[in-house]
Amino acid sequence: MKTLVFERNLARFAASRLASNFGSGRAAGIGPLRLVEAEPPELPSTEWRRVTPRLSGICGSDLATLDGRSSRYFEHLVSFPFVPGHEVVGELETGARIVLEPVLGCATRALDPPCAACRRGMHGDCERTAFGRLAPGIQTGYCADTGGGWSHAGLVAHPSQLHPVPDSFSDEDAVMVEPVACACHAVCDAQLRGTETVAVLGAGTLGLAVVAALSALSASGRVPGAAAVLVGAKYSHQRRLAVELGATAAIGPDQLGRAVRRRSGSLALAEPRASAGPGPLTGGADVVFDCVGSSSSIAQSLEMVRPRGRVVLVGMPGRVHVDLAPLWQREVRLAGAYAYGTEVVGPPDGRPPDGRPVDGRPPDGGPAESVGTFALAFAVVAAHRLGRLVSATYPIDRFEEAIAHAGAAGRRGAVKIAFDLRGTRDRRAAPSGRQSTGGTP
């Protein structure tokens, strides 16, 4: 059965690295990713289940890996050859639909007793992702033993990785759950108190997911939310979506600094410049979510965050070159937000999530509960009907086009691109879902 496999091949690696200089995702045809016929992976033990993917998304970290631009840090955390694809909505043998939580923690690796992180439910921080009964791999989609989402042969999953999909969800809604879970984790980790000014840099999938998470979680009373959310989005469709999903204002990235300066009433240090923003601010936003992860976006985040504020790197950065003097002088906290696990949030106040914000209620205003991030993600996806962010789907034999589209998603008016692995006979129209039409946005 057709499968996309990522193999260790230095020549192809170098070629893809070179080709990616001309644009992200262009390298798919000549890179280490190949379409092969493969058998389904072996079940590591009897409790593992076989999953047949229905939709599998293409993520920014996948693109970076395919471009050869991901950090060499991950060398020991992946095992070749692997099948990519960790944003998966699939079907068990019983026909039940599930969403995959791809992190391969102690439970999946049959490691007992589990590490400190897994014991607390913070699977994303598991210390043993390169050990145990499975080959090294931080997630399904980077591990040689589990298979991945971009394949008709399917993948294998431990019961702890499976989340049932409600019938009201379309496949597109379900495939958005994993990226939204990353966003929910970042939002919960930022520990907002309801009075902050928040800036979000980048309005691709992750940026929009962060905006959606901020508004939905605060509307349902889980998290106090923010007083104002300013989004820097390069493209007009991204700006429109950002405002629909609850942002206070969505502006071009070079004007974001000005808007933050106006709202926070701070001064700017440099002489006013023509097109670039006002330069380093003396005050700024309380929290900046950097959903781009490039040198210039991190530099911009440091310029617009207030002293002792927090910059959260939500998307995977590569090797970046950043001047850390502003970070040191203004005592800024630079934090990474990776994956998901368990969050401590307020209880839902029973109100229907219609987007009305809760007035800055501090977290100690009520009993807290521990909720899995994916549970919060399901709620956010349902509240905002985020399936509409899946702009186009492709069959895996057109993977070069799919990856090129994903690499240029913003410019081409798209948000999320996914592979459609449903066979023609069971391509059923799910409620409020969209018919996949292979490549049409």
Partner 1 sequence: MTPRPGLVLEVDRSTPPTLFWHGERFVLERLPEGSRIVYAPEPLDPLEDPVGAIRHALLHPIGDRDPLPALLRPGMRLTICFDDVSLPLPPMRAPDVRQLVIEQVLEMAAAAGVDDVVLVAALALHRRMTEAELRHALGDRVYDAFAPLGLLTQHDAEDPDNLVHLGTTERGEDVEINRRAATSDLVVYVNINLVAMDGGHKSVATGLASYRSLRHHHNPRTMVHSRSFMDAPSSELHSSNWRMGRLIAESGIKVFQIETTLNTDTFPRQFAFLQRREWEWSVRDRAAFAATSAALERTPARLARQVFHSIRAPHALVSVQAGEVEAVHAVTTANVWRQQGVEVDGQTDILTMGLPYICPYNVNSIMNPVLVACLGLGYFFNLYRGRPLVREGGVVILHHPTPWEFHPGHHPSYIDFFEEVLSDTTDPVEMAKTYEESFATDPWYVHLYRTGHAYHGVHPFYMWYWCAHALDHLGRVIVVGGDPAAVRRMGFSPASRLDDALEMASDVVGRSPTLTHIHTPPLLMADVR
Write out the residues near partner 1 by the rule CB under 8 A. 251, 255, 258-259, 261-262, 265-268, 271-274, 278
Length of the chain, please? 441
Angle at 256 between CA 251 and CA 257, to 5 degrees: 165
User: Shortest gap between Cβ of 303 and partner 1 (angstroms)?
Assistant: 14
User: Shortest gap between Cβ of 197 and partner 1 (angstroms)?
Assistant: 14
Nearer to partner 1, 148 or 278 (CB): 278
Nearer to partner 1, 164 or 272 (CB): 272
User: Shortest gap between Cβ of 272 and partner 1 (angstroms)?
Assistant: 4
Residue with the two structure tokens 């210390």: 127
Give the three-class secondary structure for 151.
strand
User: Shortest gap between Cβ of 316 and partner 1 (angstroms)?
Assistant: 31
User: Shortest gap between Cβ of 268 and partner 1 (angstroms)?
Assistant: 6
User: Shortest gap between Cβ of 263 and partner 1 (angstroms)?
Assistant: 9
Where are the strands (E) in 221-355, listed by range?
228-232, 249-251, 285-290, 305-313, 333-336, 342-345
CA distance 218 to 245: 12
Give the three-class secondary structure for 390.
strand
Q: Which of the 8 DSSP states describes residue 119?
A: H
Nearer to partner 1, 272 or 438 (CB): 272
CA distance 256 to 230: 7
Distances from the Cα of 377 to the Cα of 154, 340, 427, angstroms: 24, 10, 25
- Tell how far CA 74 is from the center of its chain: 17
Radius of gyration of the chain (CA): 21
β-pair partners for 287: 198, 310
| Separation of first and last alpha carbons in the chain | 27
Nearer to partner 1, 128 or 261 (CB): 261
Nearer to partner 1, 96 or 267 (CB): 267
Nearer to partner 1, 149 or 284 (CB): 284
